[in-house]
Chains A and B, each alone.
Chain A
Amino acid sequence: MSLTKTNKKFKWALDFSQKSRASASDLPSPPGYSQAANANYSESSKETDSNLLLIKKLWDVALGPLKQVPMNLFIMYMAGNSISIFPIMMVGMLIVRPIKALFATQSTFKMVEGTQAAGQKFVYFIGNIVNILLALYKCQSMGLLPTHSSDWLAFEEPLTRVEHIGGGISML
């Protein structure tokens, strides 16, 4: 255990005192020990391992919004189409969360560089967009979107008239 620790330490630290002990290192390597192979292997495997983990974790993050979709669907189904305080709150949450997440994309993927970063970001973006669309669909089915002409009725210009009338019952 301590050996690996020192090894690790060696990896990063320059030991200038080694020189004095260089003669001692002339000793032949133990059998079955290949220095070159060992060094190479350990270095590369460690790097790929942590990278893989990171990518995996990041894919989890990127796919998170998409994974929420079924749950959101269920929530939406349960909320019903009535206009009252709780459904409105839920719909508000549904619409606000993906938008917040979209704005926070940069900070979420800050530590990522590499080949899959673009793809992850794209998937994350798509997932949030899907959530927003779902929320909008919910708003639409609840009638909260001003998509009908009746919603704009109050802003319409009143009719003007061409002919003007006067008169009444005969004054004779």
Chain B
Amino acid sequence: MGLLSSYLKLNFLGLFKFLNSMNWFIVFFSLINLSMCIYEDQIGKFDWRQTYVGRIKFAQFDTVSTAKKLIVATEENVLAALHLKTGQVVWRHVFESASTGNIQLLHVSDKIVTVSGSNPYLVRGWDSGTGVLLWEWSLTLQDNDRADFSEWWVQQGLLVHMLPAFNSHIEVTMYNLLTGHNRGATSKLPAPWVNEGCVLTPPFYSCISGNVGAQRLLSLDVTSNVVQIISKPLFDYISLDIFEGNLRPLDANSAVPGFIIDDKKIVLIKNNDFELLSVNVADASASASIIDGSNGALLLQAWTDNTLGFSLVAHNVNTGQEVSELKCSDRNLRIPEAEIAAVMCTKTAKEQHACRILVNGADDAIHLMQQGGRVLWTREEALANVVAAEFVDLPVSETEAAIESEFDQKEGSIWAAFSRRLQTQFQQLQTLLHSFQHRDRTVENSSSNNLVRDYFNLHKILVLVTDVGKIIGMDNLSGEILWRRYEPSLDAESVAVFTRRTAWHPPYDAYLTIVGKHEETGNGLVISLNPINGELVGERVLELDARLLQCAMLHRADEEKLHGLAVLYEDESIQVFPVSSERLVEDMYIYVADRETAKVQGYALKYDGKSASAQKIWSVALGGAGSAGHRIVAAAARSRLERTHSPGRALADRSVLYKYTNPNLVLFLTEGPDPVHKEVVRAVAVDVASGAVAAAAAHRRARALPLAVHADNCLAYLYRSDKHRRLEIATMELYEGKERWLPAGAAFSSFASERAPAVQRQAYILPAGATAAAPTVTERSLTDRHVLLALTTGAIVEIPWAFLDPRRPAMPTAEQREEGLLPYAPELPLPADAVLNYNRTVHRVRALYTHPAGIESTSLVLATGLDLFYTRVAPSKTFDLLKDDFDYHLITIVLVALIAASYSTKYFASRKMLKMAWK
């Protein structure tokens, strides 16, 4: 009875407690799971951000303020100040990415003046030290059509606006720089000789005009009150037989107005007259600029030769003598199409020149050099325009590779295995001793030596393909650039990157292929390289003979563990690289979606014993029949790396809701006009092997955003609802139902299943603008799934799929609550602690890339855009890792103390027993 009563008491207590706290428990645990923020001391521990400004358009040295800076304005509509010693961004303003943010003029004096936008223009003054906006006024031109031909410059505190009317006249207007007050009316200068080839070298406007054979070189100071045209026959300066009509101004805010005729002769304008320089242009591609030197003006020229590398020469303008201390020639420095962006020279005590030269290359990299050609710093501004990124595994260390190869060899007698064992252990001992000897040296070049896989496979190499054609390999933990390769012929508009062999197969090296277009011909271009060191391998740089429709990587590897690359040409023929992999073409399907017509076509690849061929097997018009104007906005396939080890969801009644995990499913998002509802967005999930439509949804009066997420059986996409004027995110989940269609571990075939999955749909309001979206990917997809969204505010937020779950019921029953379904709420919460990049704003995120780490809990994230941001996320917390602040010392002390205590008590106990026995 006593037992029973004690049972009952405890039980009543427990029951009561449980019933009371059950709901709170769910809420509490879900909250624990959902808070994802990091501690203050973890800032920068797992993540890094690199800020970029884009390709330099204008650059000027800020010589006025005490802290010397470089002020740049870029093609990405960014105004920034760079630190002169390190190249770091001191301050930065990111303007609108549309034409309203285009920077037309950068003028640096004691204040910085910019003209940005395109009719209306905004004239702004900035403080050069802090980047604070000082004044702003706007300016609207009457003649909107010709506004694009406007030229701007600042002269004696006045903003000069010049608008040429070809073959007619030039309009010049001057404004007060601070107020925008118009000093006088617009003056029209008659100039019937003005044409498209004219160049502006403030304040002179120069043209070559006249009939062939009798051209004249004309120049006009447009700001002077008196119209004075300098007109000279062209043959005074250049032989007319070989003249091609090319006129270009000197670069980098030349101290004396001047221009280069036909890449050969340099003509300066001095005292209202032309002056031909005795120094010829050193190279046709040379960039030239005039600077004020210690004794007279200097002509500075920089160019890159294919064999001789980068060269820089300086000549005295008056004497024509070469200035030796500025000269440099570096065979190893490759700056394609080097261009002098800005120069600043000061005189030292010994009448020497101390110069800082900013050189801009065609690969968007900027280099700051000092006299003699020493590069102080380099900024890879190409990274502001990353178009594709790939995470590549690192190879194992040599010792580990030796161990693996040892265990790989199955054949051989027991004695052979024993000797091999001894050998490898001897090697290991050697390397250990070696590492002790050279420890101090290895620390220095750790970056190159430490490129080995770590235990959790968190250390990888990021291969970034940029818009300009530069391919960059980057260490993902430090963000350090390991290698760079410039491929000027690569048109990276639509580029595909495949890791055709990972580094998991020693002795073979990793193999990465980039498929793009050739810049000039538009034919396919295949670049194969080793992603670890950036060296070309295999096909190297291969230009194909025809234009490409699409490409795919074969799923079966050859004997060298290399996956073949199949390219589908415009004429629907295929080619496989390497040719020996052709026989491995089997069960392979390629789909091609045409963006503009919203048509998707599927091809089956076959190998008939001699050659591989492609056969068109299906075609789907996603816009529907007879609905023109539909276009595909986004296509989202599952990640190639995704392996799903969770076949279903356990419900509250302990039955299983089986997922429809079709690995061949692709989500297409289209938008187009609709006769009734203005615009309509359609989301269609197509099995691209068979062409069957698995699920579809339509949203009326909406416009799609090019953001779609597809992982496992979860689909999500964004659209802008015109009806409600808000951004919405719609989600779909596909289920087979409570009965499974195939037994566990069976092979899924798109052609064998004729049943349609059950589709759950839901839409939520996103209270922010989004620019990129990606799902988290983990090793086995057992971890919760989160959706990462890059917002226009510069934040990257992590939304748990539980919030986006289309099964969220409006009024959850007890069972649904037990399952963990949250009640439906239309608006998605975006809490501040879900922001991955805390206060490190990343501007204009264009894409998010996710990759699984070696541990199940963690997914690696890279955000590209104007900035690069890398971090790692653990959607279900790091359940397979010890906490960051795990107290190793404490647990060691406790363990040691416990062991000591147990042994001492054992001793004392035995002594006491002995004493007792003698009593």
Contacts and interface: CB of A to CB of B under 8 A. Distances in A.
Interface of A: 71, 74-75, 78-80, 82, 84-87, 89-90, 143, 148-151, 153-154, 156-172
B550 A158 contact: no
A164 B587 contact: yes
B110 interface: no
Q: Which of A89, A157, A158 has the most CB of B within 10 A?
A: A158
Interface string B636-651: 0100000111111011
B764 interface: no
Interface string B201-244: 00000000000000000000000000000000000000000000
13 contacts: A80-B15, A87-B11, A143-B654, A156-B645, A158-B643, A158-B647, A159-B644, A162-B752, A166-B552, A167-B568, A170-B549, A170-B595, A171-B516
A79 B16 CA distance: 11
Contacts of A164: 554-555, 587-589
Contact of A159 (B554, B746, B782): B746
Contacts of A89: 10
Given A159-B742, A161-B664, A171 B7 contact: no
A150 B656 contact: yes
B549 A149 contact: no
A154 B746 CA distance: 16
Nearest to A161: B663
B19 A82 contact: yes
B7 A162 contact: no
B323 interface: no
A165 B745 contact: no
A158 to B, nearest CB: 5
Interface of B: 4, 7-8, 10-15, 17-19, 22, 494, 496, 515-517, 524, 547-555, 566, 568, 570, 587-595, 603, 632, 635, 637, 643-648, 650-651, 654-656, 661, 663-664, 666, 688-689, 742, 744-752, 782
A154 B4 CA distance: 39
Contact of A165 (B7, B517, B655, B688): B688
B644 A158 contact: yes
Nearest to A158: B645
Contacts of B742: 159
A160 B553 contact: no
* Chain A to chain B: the 7 pairs with minimum beta-carbon distance, closest first: A166-B552, A157-B745, A86-B14, A150-B650, A162-B749, A164-B555, A163-B689
Contacts of A79: 7, 11, 15
A160 B555 CA distance: 13
Contacts of B752: 162
B2 to A, nearest CB: 12
Contacts of A71: 4
A84 B13 CA distance: 11
Contacts of B566: 166
B699 to A, nearest CB: 21
Contacts of A159: 644, 647, 661, 663, 742, 745-748
Given A82-B19, A85-B14, A160-B746, A167 B648 contact: no
A78 B8 contact: yes
Nearest to A164: B555
B591 A167 contact: yes
Q: Which of A79, A85, A154, A163 has the most CB of B within 10 A?
A: A163
Contacts of A150: 648, 650-651, 654-656
Nearest to A151: B654
Contacts of A157: 744-745
B548 A153 contact: no
B593 A168 contact: yes
B651 A163 contact: no
Contact of A167 (B14, B590, B645): B590
